[in-house]
Structure 1
């Protein structure tokens, strides 16, 4: 009996060793033209990550044309993890950016965003899901204004980590014709805006001069409060993750948010990130963020970034 058990254990060990060495147990995923061998994913997950570091520098010495020494560095990280089994899916994305520029001995923030999105769906028809989602966004580092300041002031902090931050929960129906595109409509989407740092509160004086005022309303959050709750609202989200070519990829997202009580002040946000790989290690990235939210600013806000630097890209998404 003991001999049979020993034989069975040895047989299992040899089978496992053979399986581990079998080339058929590996699959190939592409990093543009590069190939990486990985173990097959049996957990129903598909994953991708794109990261880049951009660096720019300029210096002058006795340069008659004039100029200011400067150094700029920025990082971008975009990740996605998609779980699919039967009629159930769970799609998670993260878009992170942070950059600084030092010019004339002063360091300022050049780019900053932290966005996390998680969506659980259940298929009810081909390309149609019922879903529940959560969207969170804030900043990594303090942000400052340098114009229209009181006499003697060099800067004023207008944002910080969790100041503001927004968490939106949504339920509705989604149209997903492919893994690359999705459109989600949520007739019920409560949103919570957080403000953890009262130092970012201010009011505008004569000529638009900033006057620090901890009793002022900021980002829609009333004075004396740290949270604003919007319970009855509509949210529409569209997302596109697409390879435009062998070395070019596009990530785009649009979000509309409409509070039923203030339909004359609908919020819109567009995020676009275009990545083009120059060679195995270098890439160029173009980022654009457009935001219209009257609680933040009574006008259109734009953030654009362009950089060349190191990139890493890997994906286990299956082609369909």
Structure 2
């Protein structure tokens, strides 16, 4: 509830201070941004009397956005690929961050803030994921061995698709809202992992229909400091009155030290009753170098 309230307050604040509407014309061609980043940290100890734990962490990431007006249609494509690993003391290398997301939106190019729109999104991951301290109560369909890591995901498992037809809202100042009717497909090719993501054992693809909403903001807060925030919610028709909607709330601050060095602070809250009754949280702080490819 606090997440939703914060998002509403943020939207009202930004809308009240909105400046000119975001505009892009067919004659402008592509408006593109593609940035590759590499961040890491390392600490090593050998015969260090005061003690310490050796650790190594590294994250590689690609972020892109590509906008263009073709005829009377504004197309927006967003790409994020990120993979991070961690090794601590004598432990084996572990996955720390794994994101693969692509989204495309087509909407009627207009000077009006509200216009018809369609969108599609695909989200997955690159590498297997493990729960290193699994509880049998959290995985009733899997065989949990105390003290042993449990594989709970794999490359492209799960694979989530979403499609929405509705309206887009662009008041300007970096704020974009979308609302419409949508479909969501959860694909889990590995049978034993299907119940972990709400699918039945014989259900490789679970299809849900419902209402899809998204509110996204990208706005400079100060010189060389940019806020990126996205709140997305999907309420399946079968969930109405029984379950709360699936919600993803992502927030990130990018602090540019110079043209190459930057600091990123990210926080993500995820709620999906088909996966867990609790809110899932992820926080990332990274210092690294970035290179603008486009």
Q: TM-score range by the shorter chain?
A: 0.7 to 0.9
Check if 1:312 corresponds to 2:282: no
Task: Check conservation: 1:109, 1:143, Cα contact below 8 A.
Answer: yes
Equivalent position of 1:141 in the other structure:
127
* Cα deviation, residue 312, structure 1: 2.1
Question: CA RMSD of the aligned region, Å?
Answer: 2.1
The match for 1:115 is 101
CA distance in 2, matches of 1:87, 1:129: 11
**Hey, what's the Cα distance between the residues in 2 that align with 1:148 and 1:83?**
46
Deviation for aligned residue 1:139: 1.1
Deviation at residue 280 of structure 1 after TM alignment: 2.8
Give 2:148's aligned residue.
154
Scaled by the length of structure 2, what TM-score is found? 0.81
Counterpart secondary structure, 1:118 = strand
Q: Find the aligned partners of 1:219 and 1:255 in 2 and give their Cα distance.
A: 18
> Is the CA contact (8 Å cut-off) linking 1:123 and 1:130 kept in structure 2?
no
Is contact 2:119-2:165 (8 Å) kept?
A: yes
SS, match of residue 224 in structure 1? coil
Corresponding residue of 2:222: 245
Question: Is 2:173–2:219's contact at 8 Å kept on the other side of the alignment?
Answer: no
Q: Which deviates more from structure 2 when the two are superposed, residues 143-152 or residues 164-173?
A: 143-152
2:208 match: 230
Q: Secondary structure at the match of 1:305?
A: strand
Q: Distance in 1 between matches of 2:116 and 2:184?
A: 20
Instruction: Give the equivalent residue in structure 1 for 2:232.
Output: 255
Match of 1:190, SS state, is strand
Q: Distance in 2 between matches of 1:77 and 1:179?
A: 24
3-state SS, counterpart of residue 171 of structure 2: coil
**Max Rg structure:** 1
For 1:307 and 1:218, locate their aligned partners in 2 and report how far apart those are by CA, in whole Å. Answer: 30
Q: What is residue 11 of structure 2 aligned with on the other side?
A: none
Report the Cα offset of residue 225 of structure 1: 1.9
Task: Give distance in 2, aligned partners of 1:157 and 1:125.
Answer: 50
Residue 183 of structure 1 is matched in structure 2 by 177
Structure 1 position 153, deviation (Å): 4.9
- 2-structure distance, mates of 1:167, 1:179: 29
Which residue matches 1:56? 41
Structure 2, unpaired ranges of 5+:
1-25, 136-143
User: What's the offset of the Cα at 1:52?
Assistant: 1.5
Contact 1:138 1:164 survives alignment (8 Å): yes
Give the whole-Å Cα distance in 2 for the aligned partners of 1:133 and 1:113.
Answer: 20
CA pair 314-243 structure 1, distance change in 2 beyond 3 A: farther
Number of residue equivalences: 258
What secondary structure sits across from 1:56 in the alignment? Answer: strand
| Alpha-carbon distance between aligned partners in 1 of 2:166 and 2:145, rounded to the nearest angstrom | 51
- 1:68 maps to 53
Bigger Cα displacement from structure 2, 122-131 vs 76-85: 122-131
Higher mean displacement: 117-126 or 154-163: 117-126
Match of 1:266 among 226, 232, 245: 245
Alignment of 1:6-17 (within 5 A): none
In structure 1, distance between residues paired with 2:89 and 2:190: 29
